[in-house]
Structure 1
Amino acid sequence: MTAANQDTAPTKGPWPARPEPLDDVAELARVDAVIAAGPYEATWESLSGYTVPDWFRDAKFGVFLHWGAYTVPAFGNEWYPRHMYVEGTAEYDHHRRTYGPQTEFGYKDFLADFTAERWDPADWADLFHRAGAQFVVPVAEHHDGFAMYETARSRWKTTAIGPHRDVVGELGAAVRDRWMVLGVSSHRAEHWFFMNGGARTPSDVTDPEFVDFYGPAQREETSPNEAWMIDWFLRTVELIDRYRPQVLWFDWWIERPVFKPWLRKLAAYYYNEAARWGREVVIQYKWDAFAPGTAVLDLERGAMDTVHPTVWQNDTSVARTSWSWVPDQQYKTLPELIAELVDVVAKNGVLLLNIGPKSDGTIADEERELLTGIGDWLRVNGQAIYGSVPWAIPAEGPTVQAAGSFIDATERVFGAEDIRFTSQQRYGNERLYATLLAWPEDGVARIRAWGSGSGQLARPIRSVDLLGHDGEVTWTQTEDALEVRLPADRPSAVGAVIRLTPEPAEAGTRLPFDHEL
């Protein structure tokens, strides 16, 4: 069936006029002046003085958003714009069957139907706040080249086509109104090659009228030229200046050597501007794009095998195969998502969890339920997560946790013997937390690391509690384990969190946060 035969045919054009040329030389000179004013210089040595802000280290949980025109076809995943031009893919065949030849109906023709007619940024922000998120990172521009924000550098943007709204700006205002932190992600680097399938087969990608949208559409083996790098750099500077995000997330392709000098310059500009704003900010990168200690390492759909010496981030999704919404989405379970959160935090990390809204601006019920489920769990057990630091060991239990990126393709089921440890350190005292990733069938939590023979506890036990349970629990410390008899009523839907308070380091030391947590 072609688009013309559908009950509701996608809307084509008319297209906005191209923007007036900008004075890139003057803008680069302005950026250089900001860098020269300090405190950071555009060198790895200077940038190594960067310190990850406490707000991010303590936040532990943020929401990521993949929302764009690729949710109009809603087929496959967010790489539909690329795959629809690559012969032999399911997207290519689906597109021709559904919309007609790529010469007659291209990706650009979806943009006008990305109308977001039911989008309510306040509702989104309420949901994210309800989920316990401390920061929110919408995709400002994905690989497709469609800007979800107002920009002077492109006519292909949501303020001019589709919803005619500044998605980043409106969502950012709602997020900040609820005292969460706004971040943005930029996937612009990948646009250098992303649409090149359309340059190899007949399509609208080679139409000169749309070269500013689809281009450069170069081969992925090539490196961007200087003109394109300047445009990439100044687009990112514009995002920083216009929205003042406190998180700047980059996808993988900035690891190419040609980006290195630009990344140093960008970090120096961003960190210097943030110092002028009086805000603390975070850059997130993958692989080796930045020098260690100059930004925050991000693992995609990943995990560490032990405690990482510096704070890091896992960006993953509520779904397994698509970051954007598709009708046949394969969702993770709530226990699996809680396990991901706790495992990341126990190893000195932060979880950035993605959802994918529909093209009309609504969020699928399944995704809402997962987010509210996380929020319910955090309301009971949040003191084991927010503001916590790693304990002597991060984990125990028989289930092997794979390490690296892209490890969540299949469901991981954990048992009550699979435990993650965190701690709170205040006023010279501490609280220790053991999160059981499942409720024990016999109602007894057994924590081997807290047994008297483990050598892990530095001081005797003062008290043991179950978070979310008002009454006392019965516990016994043996050489092999701390055994805690749990009540019949479960405080939360997933697992259990046992809190251990050691005796104070010094006799008579006040424990002022007994009732603060």
Structure 2
Amino acid sequence: MKKFWMLLGCGLMGIGFANAQNEEPPYVPETDKAVIQKLDEWQDWKFGLIMHWGPYAQWGVVESWSICPEDEGWTQRKPAGIPYYDYLKKYEALGKSFNPVHFNPEKWAKAAKDAGMKYLVFTTKHHDGFCMFDTKQTDYKVTAPDGAFSKNPRANIAKEVFEAFRQEGIHAGAYFSKPDWHTDSYWWNYFPPRDRNVNYDVKKYPERWNQFKQYTYNQIEELMTGYGKLDILWLDGGWVRPLKQQSKESLSWSQTAPQDQDIDMGKITAMARSHQPGLIVVDRSVHGPYENYRTPEQQIPEKPLSYPWETCMTMGNSWSYVPDDKYKSVTTIIHNLVDIVAKGGNYLLNVGPGPDGELHEAAYTTMKGIGEWMHINGEAIYGTRAVAPYKDGKVCFTRKKDGSVYAIYLLDQNEKVPAVITFKGLTPAKGARLQLLGTTVKLMWKTTAAGVEIKIPETIQQKGFQHAVAIRISSVEKMLI
């Protein structure tokens, strides 16, 4: 915030431009029919996996950010006090020693499938510029000849991951960082980096910026042509955007005058879709025609949103691997999933592999627990849309396209299914059949001053259901969509 007002005080932008930043631009609907269809399918998938992984896992530090001299509190370096360029040299050398000898993407894919995840977003390149795919644009990659893992037959990690997940029927998406802190056409070594942004004047050195644009275009084209069917291009680093699209938030990320970091998303998107028809493009936080859905990070909106959206959130506390990460409980994750889906969103859950290529055992046990619940209750999640009132107390609602509705009761840790479940806002139609998923018993219900009361037989209460229970209502009297 203080950076934003400092820029205003220096007169670096007009009043009209500044005022425009205070309003969030509206969502821009897609016009490509193939993309519209893919977005509708994506909204049916509901639950996905994102994986942050790179050489930084060897140190158990946050991905990329420790090399960004932007905020000392966020980018702590180890050991403390090490000079920046000494640290950068050690950090970049991690690419050579990265050797995930237990890399087994089939194991990850099976765990994700068993958890009920329908799509994957894998980090092909984070902001530090290290490529987890066999790019021809740089040697700063996992397949570089001097890399410890380069002789492994599975060295082209992104390709192996995408293929393994597709084999399990999971849709593949590529995370790609628009900024690249390694390439000399973004962080030019003639100048020191000042913050996360390009470190030279793009107007003064337009040829260098054009080199960066071409570098970015070429890498994305490699991913679109050499890595099989991809459904999503998930672009991070939203400060790389045209000047006219700068927002109050993105301006706060710059310690100097904002620059026109336009990489020509129109050209990139047209190229990508020429190779991958129907590709969903997510230019994160850059509200416009190339942000097919929005991605609130580590948070769940209070109310349903009027456009396609996805909460991306960590399964533990960190996006990348740390040795002692603490994982959210299965109950917490399922409650998040139900809350998100009831509000019309998707849930993209992150896990970070370790330096040897393995996940924490807690990641596997957590996914197993999620899968056990989804095996019984998945029909209340997949292929659903939001329906008002969305939530009433501990009951969330979802709807199928056939008009059936699910009332999902959120159980507290160790709570038994109550004898009566009550909610307001929806009323079953006359003759509707109510059934708790995982059972075959027809449930009795009535309307009272308190709302709809559904009686749960004692035999069901004693079954030991955990996390949440879903009641299918075959039809309702009226439904606000």
TM category (shorter chain) comes to 0.7 to 0.9
Q: Does 1:132 align with 2:105?
A: no
Compute the displacement of 1:185 (Å). Answer: 0.1
Gaps of 5+ in 1: 1-43, 200-204, 209-214, 398-417, 506-517
For residues 254-305 of structure 1, give each alpha carbon's deviation from its aligned partner in whole angstroms, at most 9, with x where no partner exists.
4453455611222222233323xxxx3211233234338x612221112222
Residue 330 of structure 1: aligned partner: 326
Q: How far is 1:184 from its partner?
A: 0.8
- Offset, 1:421: 0.7
Aligned ranges for residues 487-506 of structure 1 at < 5 Å? 487-490=460-463, 492-502=465-475
Query: Aligned with 2:94: secondary structure?
Result: helix
Is the partner of 2:44 in helix, strand or coil?
helix
- Corresponding residue number in structure 1 for 2:216: 232
State the Cα distance separating 1:350 from its structure 2 match: 1.1
Q: TM-score, normalised by structure 2?
A: 0.76
From the superposition, tell whether residues 445 and 425 of structure 1 become closer, same or farther in structure 2 (CA, over 3 Å): farther
**Aligned in 2, Cα 1:311/1:188: closer, same or farther, shift over 3 Å?**
closer
Shift of 1:499: 1.4
The question of 1:301 aligning with 2:271 is answered no
What does residue 36 of structure 2 align with? 51
Alpha carbons of structure 1 residues 256 and 105: separation in structure 2 relative to 1, 3 Å: same
Query: For the structure 1 residues 105 and 95, does the alpha-carbon distance in structure 2 shift closer, same or farther, using more than 3 Å as the test?
Result: farther
Confirm whether residue 273 of structure 1 aligns to residue 275 of structure 2: yes
Aligned equivalent of 1:116: 100
| Secondary structure of 2:296 counterpart | strand
User: Any idea what SS the aligned residue of 1:342 has?
Assistant: helix
1:374 to 370, 375, 391: 370
Contact 1:193–1:217 (CA under 8 A) maintained in structure 2:
no
Distance 2:29 2:376 in 1: 43
Q: One-letter code of the match for 2:283?
A: Y
The superposition leaves residues 187-223 of structure 1 with CA deviations (integer Å, 9 ceiling, x where unpaired) of: 1425379999xx9xxxxx96x9xxxxxx984644557
TM-score, normalization: structure 1? 0.71
Cα deviation, residue 82, structure 1: 1.7
2:399 maps to: 423
Q: For 2:29 and 2:451, how far apart are their aligned partners in 1?
A: 47
Q: Does 1:247 align with 2:242?
A: no
**In the TM superposition, what is the alpha-carbon distance from 1:356 to its structure 2 partner?**
0.8
* Number of the residue aligned with 1:512: none
- C-alpha contact (below 8 Å) 1:83/1:89 kept by paired residues: no
- CA deviations 1:235-265 (Å, max 9, x no partner) are 1222112224211111133445345561122
- SS of match in other structure, 2:108: helix
Corresponding residue of 2:446 = 476
Are the counterparts in 2 of residues 83 and 92 from structure 1 also a CA contact under 8 Å?
no
Deviations 1:100-133 (A, max 9, x none): 9926951122222210011111111111111111
Asked if the contact 2:52/2:320 (under 8 Å) is kept, the reply is yes
**Alpha-carbon distance in structure 2 between the residues aligned to 1:285 and 1:89:** 24
Q: 1:364: Cα distance to partner?
A: 0.3
Residue 167, structure 1, aligned to residue 157, structure 2: yes
Aligned 8 A contact 2:103 2:357 in 1: yes
Counterpart contact for 2:68–2:193, Cα < 8 Å = no
Going from structure 1 to structure 2, the CA distance change for 1:266 and 1:489 (only over 3 Å counts) comes to farther
- 1:439-487 Cα offsets, whole Å, 9 max, x none, are 56571343322xxxx4x43733512111112334443332422223332
Q: Which residue number in structure 2 is paired with residue 145 of structure 1?
A: 129
Of residues 398, 402, 405, the one that matches 1:432 is: 405
The answer for unaligned runs of 5 or more in structure 2 is 1-27, 203-208, 244-259
1:67 & 1:253 partners in 2: Cα distance?
Answer: 22
Determine the C-alpha separation between the residues in 2 that align with 1:46 and 1:419: 33
Look up the match of 1:463.
433
Q: Equivalents in 2 of 1:91, 1:83: separation in Å? A: 10
Q: Secondary structure at the match of 2:128?
A: coil
Q: Is residue 178 of structure 1 aligned with residue 175 of structure 2? A: no
Separation in structure 2 between the aligned mates of residue 272 and residue 359 of structure 1, nearest angstrom: 36
In 1, Cα distance between the equivalents of 2:455 and 2:86?
Answer: 64
In structure 2, distance between residues paired with 1:145 and 1:373:
35
Equivalents in 2 of 1:350, 1:174: separation in Å? 22
Q: Secondary structure at the match of 2:142?
A: coil
Distance 1:496 1:69 in 2: 41
Q: Deviations over 1:296-333 (max 9, x none)?
A: 2221112222222232111111023x201102313222
Partner deviation per Cα, 1:143-183 (whole Å, 9 max, x = no partner)? 11110001110101111223220111011111111111111
User: Paired residues, what number?
Assistant: 412
Q: Structure 1 residues 442, 180: closer, same or farther in 2, change over 3 A? A: closer
- Contact kept, 8 Å, 1:70 with 1:81, in 2: the verdict is no
Q: Structure 1 residues 65, 195: closer, same or farther in 2, change over 3 A?
A: farther
Give, in whole Å, the separation in 2 of the partners of 1:45 and 1:444. 45
Measure the CA separation in 1 of the matches of 2:361 and 2:421. 36
Kindly provide the CA deviation profile for residues 347-390 of structure 1, in whole angstroms up to 9, marking residues without a partner as x: 22111110011110011011111111111111010000011111
- Three-state SS of the structure 2 residue aligned to 1:382 is helix
Letter of the 2:421 counterpart: R
- The letter of the residue matching 1:309 is S
CA distance in 2, matches of 1:103, 1:346: 46
Cα contact 1:318–1:355 (8 A) shared by 2: yes
8 Å Cα contact 1:256-1:289 kept in structure 2: no
Between the aligned partners of 1:304 and 1:488, the Cα distance in structure 2 is 32
2:89 is aligned with 1:92:
no
After superposition, residues 277-296 of structure 1 pair within 5 angstroms as 280-291=278-289, 295-296=292-293
Among 159, 169, 181, the residue aligned to 1:191: 181
Structure 2 vs 1, CA of residues 289 and 234 (structure 1 numbering), >3 Å: closer, same or farther?
A: farther
CA gap 1:261/1:365 in 2 versus in 1, 3 angstroms = closer
Amino acid at match of 1:433: Y
Shift, 1:51, TM fit: 1.0
Q: Does 1:61 align with 2:31?
A: no
Provide the rounded CA distance (Å) in 2 between the counterparts of 1:432 and 1:66.
36
Q: Structure 2 vs 1, CA of residues 356 and 46 (structure 1 numbering), >3 Å: closer, same or farther?
A: closer
Secondary structure at the counterpart of residue 340 of structure 2: helix
